[in-house]
Chain A
Amino acid sequence: MAIEVRIPTILRTYTDGAKQVEGAGSTLAELIEDIDAKHSGLRDRLVADGGLRRFVNVYLNDEDVRFLGGLETPLKDGDTVTVLPAVAGGAA
Chain B
Amino acid sequence: MLSIRRELHDKIVAHARADHPDEACGVIAGPAGSDRPGRFIPMMNAERSPTFYRFDSMEQFQVWKEMDDRDEEPVVIYHSHTATEAYPSRTDISYASEPNAHYVLVSTRAPDTTDFRSFRIVDDVVTEEPVELAGA
Residues of A participating in the B interface, judged by any CB pair closer than 8 Å: 8-10, 55, 57, 59, 62, 64, 66, 82, 84-92
A-B contact pairs, 10 of them (CB 8 A): A8-B97, A55-B95, A57-B60, A59-B61, A64-B57, A87-B25, A87-B43, A87-B77, A90-B49, A91-B91
Q: Is the interface of A mostly helix, strand, loop or mixed?
A: mixed
- Shortest Cβ distance from B51 into A: residue: A92
Residues of B participating in the A interface, judged by any CB pair closer than 8 Å: 23, 25, 27, 43, 47, 49-55, 57-58, 60-61, 64, 77, 79, 81-84, 88-89, 91-92, 95-100
Docked-complex contact B61 and A62, CB < 8 angstroms: yes
- Shortest Cβ distance from B81 into A: residue: A91
Complex interface: chain B residues within 8 A of A82 (CB) = 61
Docked-complex contact A90 and B52, CB < 8 angstroms: yes
Docked-complex contact B60 and A87, CB < 8 angstroms: yes
Docked-complex contact B52 and A9, CB < 8 angstroms: no
Contact partner, B84, options A84, A86, A91, Cβ 8 Å: A91
Docked-complex contact A91 and B54, CB < 8 angstroms: no
- Shortest Cβ distance from A11 into B: residue: B97
Question: In whole Å, how far is B102's beta carbon from the nearest beta carbon of chain A?
Answer: 13
Docked-complex contact A9 and B100, CB < 8 angstroms: yes
Known A-B contacts A62-B61, A84-B60; the reply to A89 vs B98 at CB < 8 A is no
CA of A76 to CA of B95 in the docked complex: distance in angstroms?
A: 31
Docked-complex contact B99 and A91, CB < 8 angstroms: no
CA of A33 to CA of B51 in the docked complex: distance in angstroms?
A: 36
Complex interface: chain A residues within 8 A of B91 (CB) = 88-92
Question: In whole Å, how far is A7's beta carbon from the nearest beta carbon of chain B?
Answer: 12
Docked-complex contact A86 and B89, CB < 8 angstroms: no
